[in-house]
Structure 1
Amino acid sequence: MKEHCPPEPFALYPPCTLPDWDTKASVRTDRSPYTLPADLEHQLGERHWFVPDFMPYLDHPDIVLAGPSVVRRLEANQLVYFLDYTTVLEHKLVNRSVETLIHDELGVPVPCAVKTAALQLYTDEGYHALFSNQIAEQVAELYGIDNRSRPARRIRRLLERIQACSPADEAMVWFLIGFVSETIIAKELLSAVRLPLVSTVLRMFKSHLADEARHSRYFCDVFSHLWPLFDDCQRTLAATQLLAILEIFFESDTDWLKESLASVGLHPDTLEYITTRLQQPHAHQQRVRSGAKVTLQALFNAGFFNIAHNRHLFQNAGYIDA
């Protein structure tokens, strides 16, 4: 494990807090509505709806041959899917996760400062759900995207994980879902803000990233604070659940992707080829290793991998080196 948690300026933050939240949180500072730009048609000549690097299937010859309009439609599909997923994730999962800290559900002492920051984070996530939904509604209406009622596979799988555990274990699993979510999303958003996206989308991602960078640091600190306080049973549960949660966060939603690709008239053989490649075990393993670097480093820093059983679990999964 050579990676490190986010570099400066995050390391300057007081631990387990969201410093200067009143002046830095997007819910406090955003003043303009998230409406699509008046020159949208012109922007789409040079800008993207979504990050092409997150859509590796765009380089398939059939899609390249289909031309820019098909590529933009697939980007729009992916953007709406991502924003709908984000709306549910932030509002129903991450906020439920921070409730475990606010209301002392984990059975270990949680300092007042940690609870205050958790309430601030809760407020942030509600705003992220709001602006994600606002943009998703506009893009969906523009393109007539109407297959939005089924929750994203990641959401369904995480909720199934909760439903399968005992009531005594639920709080821990909820907390770990938030921990993983908030320590992987900043990397995703950082890639987004480096590209020429439609101006409204880019502004939204920048606001989201600024908040999530602080949230990531917060959850790294909170995990480091809590890990020594957990008893052996809690630690064993956490190790097993973390492995499963990481796996879920980096799975491909192939059913939705097939619908998206079919919406632009691609041949069924092309759909099968693209989705089969994304489901390869090695591809999934690499997505975890690349996308969860901050999460894994936070575990390392907290002493999680000092326990041989935990280290072997993650080595056997291919998520860390032997």
Structure 2
Amino acid sequence: MNADSEERDWYTRAGVRRDPRRLLRDELRGGQLYFPPALVPYGDHPLVRALPAGARDALAARHLFQYLGFTTHFETEVVNRATQRIATGRAGVDSTAATRLDAFRIYCDEGYHALYSFDVIRQIADASGIEPVPYDFTPFRERLDAVGRAALPGEPVLAQLLQVVVFETLVTAILNDVPKDDRVLTVVRQIVRDHARDEGWHHVFFARFFRELWARQSPPERVRTARCLPGLIRNSLLPDLRPVRAALTAAGLGAARVEEVVRDSYPRAATERGMREAARHALRLFEETGVLAVDGARDAFHAAGLLTEAEGDGP
């Protein structure tokens, strides 16, 4: 596909160009769900099931709000922080005009994803009377930035680019599973489906961008990059339990019971399996580009729990 046809496709197919504003239908009184129960790790915990119906309903709504709130912040504070650098030629990479144009398009996409995520939070909060618990994204962003500072000292731009490459090549169940669950509010299924459609193109862009970035790096730069990536993947996928605790507290559970629910609902073995599953496409990209062949890289990915014993041995 040439650049002209890609441009025409974006102007006619990108969500920000073609989709209407998604509006909450009159479904709250009909028992439609805020989020698929299978994707709420603590939803079936005995202490949660014992809560009054209204508290359980608010907890489900706040799980949705947390997902959409995270999306709003991540798209604007992490993805677009790096995407703007690519678009404006300040990424330290000699990108083509076509790549920069695509980056500007992605910048628009991600801003729109943030807009409609926040819009739906407010629509549902206003209609249900359930307010989101306060959410501070800064600790999560700082957790990612700390990985870059440790592995790539003095190279914050490269670290930001790698953050986005990692996150945009991860695959989680939410984008795939939410739109398929007819029990979930229509507006939620619509915006997650809209998001998933755009993210398919973004995945292709950032995988291609990483191949170009990697090809231009010197051997010492490749070593530093390869050893940074496992930490970025891990810290992108580790559950952020602060808002979970806040929501459980708002539902009426005391501190000790909140910790019991969190401990039981996020067991380490299941969390590790989930991270490896979500990272499979990113790991394939890094295998194909030779990242895992760099001295010490495969061991670093293995130590981060992203490769099984067999995978850690290499081909």
Q: Taking structure 1 as the reference length, what is the TM-score of the superposition?
A: 0.85
2: CA distance, partners of 1:171 / 1:216: 20
Equivalenced residue count is 305
Deviation at 1:146, TM superposition (A): 4.8
Question: d(CA) in 2 for partners of 1:19 and 1:299?
Answer: 31
Aligned to 2:10: 21
Where in structure 2 are there 5+ consecutive unaligned residues? Answer: none
Residue number in structure 2 paired with 1:184: 170
Q: 2:249 aligned with 1:262, yes or no?
A: yes
Q: Which residue of 2 aligns with 1:140?
A: 125
The answer as to 2:282 corresponding to 1:295 is yes
1:65 deviation in Å?
3.6
- Asked if the contact 1:18/1:215 (under 8 Å) is kept, the reply is no
Q: Percent identity?
A: 25
Q: Which amino acid aligns with 1:54?
A: L
What is the alpha-carbon distance in structure 2 between the residues aligned to residue 143 and residue 290 of structure 1? Answer: 36
Higher RCO (CA < 8 A, seq sep 6+): 1
- C-alpha change, 1:167 and 1:53, in structure 2 (3 Å) is same
Q: Give the corresponding residue for 2:158.
A: 172
Of residues 89, 106, 115 in structure 2, which corresponds to 1:121? 106
Contact 1:108 1:230 in 2 (8 A): no
Which residue type is aligned with residue 19 of structure 2? Answer: D
Partner AA of 1:123 in structure 2: C
Query: Residue 35 of structure 1 corresponds to which residue in structure 2?
Result: 23
Instruction: Work out whether 1:227 is the aligned partner of 2:214.
Output: yes
Aligned equivalents of 1:164 and 1:71: distance in 2?
A: 41
CA shift, 1:267, in A, is 4.6
> Partner letter of residue 85 of structure 1?
F
Deviation at 1:68, TM superposition (A): 5.2
Q: Does the CA-based 8 Å contact 1:87-1:133 persist in structure 2?
A: yes
RMSD of Structure 2 on Structure 1 (CA): 2.6
Q: How does 1:198-213 map to 2 (within 5 A)?
A: 198-213=185-200
Distance 2:2 2:270 in 1: 35
Cα 1:19–1:161, aligned 2, differ >3 Å: closer, same or farther? farther
2:125 touches 2:131 (CA, 8 Å); kept in 1? yes
- For structure 1, the 5+ residue unaligned runs are 1-11
In the alignment, is the contact (CA less than 8 A) between 2:222 and 2:294 conserved in 1? no
1:101 partnered with 2:80: no
Q: CA shift at 1:148, angstroms?
A: 2.2
Structure 1, 73-82 or 270-279: larger mean CA deviation: 270-279
The alpha-carbon deviation at position 217 of structure 1 amounts to: 1.7
Q: Which residue of structure 2 lines up, in the alignment, with residue 240 of structure 1?
A: 227
Instruction: Work out the CA distance in 2 between the residues paired with 1:166 and 1:268.
Output: 38
Pick the aligned partner of 2:66 from 78, 81, 96.
81
Match of 1:305 in 2: 292
Mean Cα deviation higher: 111-120 or 207-216: 111-120
